[in-house]
Structures are given as C-alpha cells and as structure tokens.
Amino acid sequence: MPQPAGQYVGAPLVQGEAKLKRSPLILGFVGWVFVACSFLLPYLLIRDAIKSGHPEGAGWVWILFLIMWIGLVAPVNIFGVVLAMPSPAVPVSEKQRKLNTWGIALNVSPWVLGAIGFVGSMFYVFGV
C-alpha cells in the first residue's frame, strides 16, 4: 500500500541533539603518544647499543626522531587543529567550543614545548 506524501502529523518535529566532534581531542592524544614514542624509541635503541658493547651502532638513531616528528606528529597535529577550527557559518554549542579549545591546545602544545626546549638548549649550548 503506498504511503501518503508529506510529514507524519502524529509526532512533533524537534531538532535532535548535536553530536560532539571528538576527533581533534583524539588526534591530540595520538600526537602526544607519537611524541612520547619519538623520545622513548631512540632512548631504548641507544641504551641497547651501549649494553651490547657497540655504541657506534646507534649513530643513525637521530633520523628516527626526525621521521617521527615530520612524518607522524606533524600531520596528526595539523589535521587535529584543522578539524578543531570552527566554521563561521555553523553555530557551535558551548560543549563543542570547549572540546575544540582542548583539541587545539593538545595539538599545538607539543610544538610549543619543542620550541621552548630548542631555544633553551641553544641558550645552554652557547652559554647565554
């Protein structure tokens, strides 16, 4: 039997609850896991090379740090920041705005701390 055209008048039309985007927050945590791995894996490789009596075998480890930051941390954090930026055309709830703020903070914080660490190490190296 064919259905009549139009809306069903028995139920009122209400707007559903807006679903919160959690992907920027998740990408921020994933970025921090990659940051932790970028320090932990070279440390473990260097420690293992020293224990084995051949520390020259760990001379290539610096490239692993570079690959982790440029190949994994940077794309994940950039994608997280882009997803967290609100569109000016779409109204955003207060909960979503708070999640976006935390997502941006989690995705930008490794780079801020890395820049502070780099500048601090330069002050240490050059004795300023």
Per-residue pLDDT, 28: 95
Tell me the pTM.
Answer: 0.75
What is the tally of structural domains in the chain?
1
| Structural contact between residues 127 and 116, judged by C-beta atoms closer than 8 angstroms | no
**Full residue range of the structural domain in which residue 68 is found:** 23-126
Residue 30 lies in a domain: yes
Residue 51 lies in a domain: yes
Residue 80 lies in a domain: yes
Residue 18 lies in a domain: no
Residue 15 lies in a domain: no
Residue 9 lies in a domain: no
Per-residue pLDDT, 42: 86
Query: Mean per-residue pLDDT for 43-56?
Result: 83
Residue 103 lies in a domain: yes
- Whether 11 shows a pLDDT value over 70: the answer reads no
**Which residues make Cβ contacts (< 8 Å) with residue 118, sequence separation at least 6?**
none
| Structural contact between residues 124 and 46, judged by C-beta atoms closer than 8 angstroms | no
Q: Is the dihedral of CA 66, 67, 68, 73 positive or negative?
A: positive
